[in-house]
Amino acid sequence: MKIKEISKQDTNIFKAIGILLIVLHNYFRWVAPNTGENEFSYSFSVIKNLINGIIKTPLESINLFFDYFGHYGVQIFVFVSGVGLALSMLHKKTSYGTFILKRFKALYAMLIVGIVFYWLSRVVLDYHILNVNEWRELLWKILLVHTVIPREGLSAIGPWWFFGAIAQLYLLFPLLFHIIKKYNLKGCIAVCLFSFICSYLVMFVFPLPEGIEWRANSIALLPEFAFGIFIAMNPQKKIPPAIFWAALITFISGNISKAFFPLSFLSITIVFYFAISQLIPVINKSNRLKTILLNIGTLSMAIFIIHGFFRWRFVAIFSSNWFEKFIGFFLFFITVYALSIVANIFYKRIHGLFDGISKKIMLIRKRQK
């Protein structure tokens, strides 16, 4: 397979598939029957739950599938982030400070929108005023340090752990970009090996303090991120089909054996890359499907930040039988999609405000010089 240059439209299709997997997972993981997931830690009982659940309740197979596998949509987002940042840097080189400022403006604009929508949902729908502990949990997220504080990574709105991890990846990106640009495949492999060694040490030798999730932090996500940077830097390069099959076998092994667990995340990213790259030409032939996915991809971050705290209302109401569960999910997604359109408008305005403030500061500094 030849690596094709990934366009902005392609990245939105990747994002759409990634966010659909994430939303399906975060909804169905709370709908019985449950499997659990091997996301932050590994347990063989989880894959047994999946197999037994499908055998005993075949009508729940889709529910069980996304409960178990949907969280791997995060890997698509990490991969696409690496691709997008690398393409941006290749087309327009910027200083470290300018790069970090640009990325954190976007990150904070989305976090502010998310917190406002969360606060409004609790006040309007639950008649609840956030207490001191709830504001404390949100404060750690505003500071982007929640993933390194015990029991705070998944507090308040669980999926928001991602913001701490992506902030760390932003800080590391210029160094990773330099390594992979200079050493290409060798550099990418070196970054992956460093991450794998750290993951194995944490898993088997030096466990982290209780309540800190290793896989909610950047070092564990480096392989998927580095793979995205490598793909962006190597258009027209050929990847042997054997890589796909090796990745698929490694992914399967990582789900049935703890020894391969740290390798399963990069391997599924490679599988996703092959599969989605082959699907994109098919998707492009269907104007309706392409339009739907592009719209979802464009709103993916707004959907991500909204869906985590709206799911409970639908899970609680629609859970009697498998048909009702899917009706509940459909209504849930439509609601989140509509809210994300509004959230995206506010995001653009806040981001524009941040841009205006930063430009004024830059202008003042220039005058002072």
Question: Each residue of 112-160: pLDDT tens digit?
Answer: 999 999 999 999 988 999 999 999 999 999 999 999 999 999 998 999 9
- Output phi, psi for 7, to 5 deg: -80, 170
Q: Which domain holds residue 206?
A: 8-368
Give the count of domains, the chain.
1
Residue 319 lies inside a defined structural domain of this protein: yes
Q: How far apart are CA 288 and CA 253, in angstroms?
A: 37
Residue 352 lies inside a defined structural domain of this protein: yes
Q: How far apart are CA 216 and CA 161, in angstroms?
A: 6
Q: How far apart are CA 20 and CA 307, in angstroms?
A: 11
Residue 3 lies inside a defined structural domain of this protein: no
Residue 2 lies inside a defined structural domain of this protein: no
Residue 199 lies inside a defined structural domain of this protein: yes
Least confident interval from 76-85, 94-103, 262-271:
94-103
Measured over the CA atoms of residue 273, residue 278, residue 280 and residue 286, the dihedral's sign is: negative
Counting DSSP H helices and E strands in the chain, the numbers are 13, 0
Cα–Cα separations (whole angstroms), residue 228 to 83, 108, 142, 192, 327: 4, 23, 27, 12, 36
Residue 1 lies inside a defined structural domain of this protein: no
pLDDT above 70 for 59: yes
The average pLDDT across 295-300 equals 97
Residue 42 lies inside a defined structural domain of this protein: yes
Give residue 369's pLDDT band: very low, low, confident or very high (50, 70, 90): low
pLDDT above 70 for 304: yes
pLDDT above 90 for 355: no
CB 70 within 8 A of CB 25: yes
Residue 20 lies inside a defined structural domain of this protein: yes
